[in-house]
Structure 1
């Protein structure tokens, strides 16, 4: 069975900090620790505990995390060192994956060179209206980007100077720690994997070789998108290191509160105010929809809170084959600030209704019976 993504196991995004990863692991470890899970479900809890532990061990190590971000599980699986990994034995594995694990079992066949790192992902929060979410839209956003520094032409060194090879790693970007029979490769702490030291950094870019700018990005919001969904824009994250690929940009959708409608999945809800006379006499009324107006027929004697369902008048979700429904909730409005004539008419109406008994009030009899039961 295929392994789950380490980030999904811990419930963190790829851009999570080391502290976020540690907190997520501690939470899962406390939840699934074998000492806390005995009896039924203990086996499942133990497997989840081991799974979380493995994910943390990989993502808490910068070198292993970098390998995993680039190559997935293959980049951190020592069992991939055979011919099936694309090379002759361990030497082929080290060549294919940038000598991730170093020269194990002697010098091996791993290539020497600067460490390549993928850039970090970026997150952008976009607020849109309910109509835009329902029907989609095309828009533009401004995001940070990086351009080659014009002063140093991308070298990072001050004009008239140049970078020098890092002495501790001899310009390879990696150092080896030997312990007996084994040799473990790690990123050089002096040059941080770049393989070079810049004695006099460029004042314009502080030695980065790049300058941060702003660029305009075209974004298409798909129809039916929901609150919290993310749109991935590949390659528009932070740039990688030493020629590594850039990260991605994730646009997270936030939907503004609507004056009329509330969204529940693909369904919409709205409150429709009607007068006392309209509710009593019935008749056709107009109700709003996202696409315009619709008509519903109120039966005579419609009660407050009555709900009418209009099929297909909701939102068609991005993964749905048909639209949701619109639910109209009737709110009977009681008139206020009556004048003398209006009060007289209401009293006359009330007296006339009283003469008809409980048949004019559908809830009166049942309510009276419940009251009587209290005193039995």
Structure 2
């Protein structure tokens, strides 16, 4: 994946949201693996563009990347903190130039410190032990549309360089969070380490759209297929199938393929695939078609807008 999402999409850093979206769609149409199977270079370009679009489509995430707070994969960049950052903090009573208060205050603080350390003679308490759980870490992981449908495993690189495997459950939706126990910041004392919270982002697909557990596509059909009906090929997430187009089909009619959608969480059942048919006219109306329609209209004209309010 490119370290620069703007370069991956071929846009400038001041590109508008519309320009970014348009650039991603263009690359998806040119390089999607379903459209160019076996083309490794095209697939890699599509993956880079999808990851870049996911980062830049959200205004807040884009701004954080521009400020250098996160990298191109959406992961937090480790921030350097120096002693001076803490020593000079406004809330630190011991910062340079501060008034240390009267001597009685300092004596109380020193006495409490010594008691906590178990120093100062016989009969003192044991050293005070502090335990606290580690902080959780937030990450973003982009996956493909089909990986979200079927489930998958991906590697995630943590700030310390450790690579962990993230198991993507089948049917996961955009924005869901996967918790990796013990992969956050270490705890203090005997405190347990925090967790890694991985927010999943699902890249859009050029053909399929998800509606809950259903999959929806728009399928173009020809004029003669709409009038006469017949079998036409249609893509599904499992591969191509032939569907029956009823004679006299109009644009907008939707066919339903049972059990061709996404597997439902906690069940072996699957949703459906919805195929919305769109009648596409030929690019050129030739003389024969024009003459036939003129003759047909004279004898069979009808008003498809009858009943609409005037």
TM-score strictly above 0.5: yes
Indicate the SS of the match to 2:199.
Answer: strand
- Say whether residues 1:319 and 2:257 are aligned partners: no
Query: 1:89-141: CA deviations, max 9, x gaps?
Result: xxxxxxxxxxxxxxxxxxxxx98622211000011111111111111112211
Map 1:28-47 to 2 at 5 A. none
Map 1:236-251 to 2 at 5 A. 236-251=183-198
Indicate the SS of the match to 2:234.
Answer: strand
State the partner residue of 1:282.
Answer: 229
State the partner residue of 1:59.
Answer: none
State the partner residue of 2:156.
Answer: 141
State the partner residue of 2:297.
Answer: 354
Map 1:301-320 to 2 at 5 A. 301-320=248-267
State the partner residue of 2:287.
Answer: 344
Aligned residues: 186
Structure with the bigger RCO (C-alpha within 8 Å, sep 6+) is 1
Aligned match for 1:367, one of 297, 301, 305? 305
TM-score, normalised relative to structure 1: 0.47
Indicate the SS of the match to 1:356.
Answer: helix
State the partner residue of 2:203.
Answer: 256
Query: 1:148-178: CA deviations, max 9, x gaps?
Result: xxxxxxxxxxxxxxxxxxxxxxxxxxxxxxx
TM-score, normalised relative to structure 2: 0.56
> Does the aligned pair in 2 maintain the 1:225–1:317 contact within 8 Å?
no
Map 1:2-21 to 2 at 5 A. none
Separation (CA, whole Å) in 1 of partners of 2:129 and 2:181: 25
Separation (CA, whole Å) in 2 of partners of 1:369 and 1:231: 53
Q: 1:142 to 1:111 in 2, by over 3 A?
A: same
Separation (CA, whole Å) in 2 of partners of 1:304 and 1:326: 17
CA drift of 1:220 comes to: 1.3
> Does the aligned pair in 2 maintain the 1:123–1:252 contact within 8 Å?
yes
Separation (CA, whole Å) in 2 of partners of 1:323 and 1:335: 37
Q: CA RMSD in A?
A: 2.0
Query: 1:239-260: CA deviations, max 9, x gaps?
Result: 1112321101111111001010
Q: 1:124 to 1:297 in 2, by over 3 A?
A: same
State the partner residue of 1:150.
Answer: none
When Rg is computed on C-alpha atoms for both structures, the one with the higher figure is 1
Structure 2 spans left out of the alignment, 5+ residues: 1-124
> Does the aligned pair in 2 maintain the 1:226–1:317 contact within 8 Å?
no
Structure 1 spans left out of the alignment, 5+ residues: 1-109, 145-212
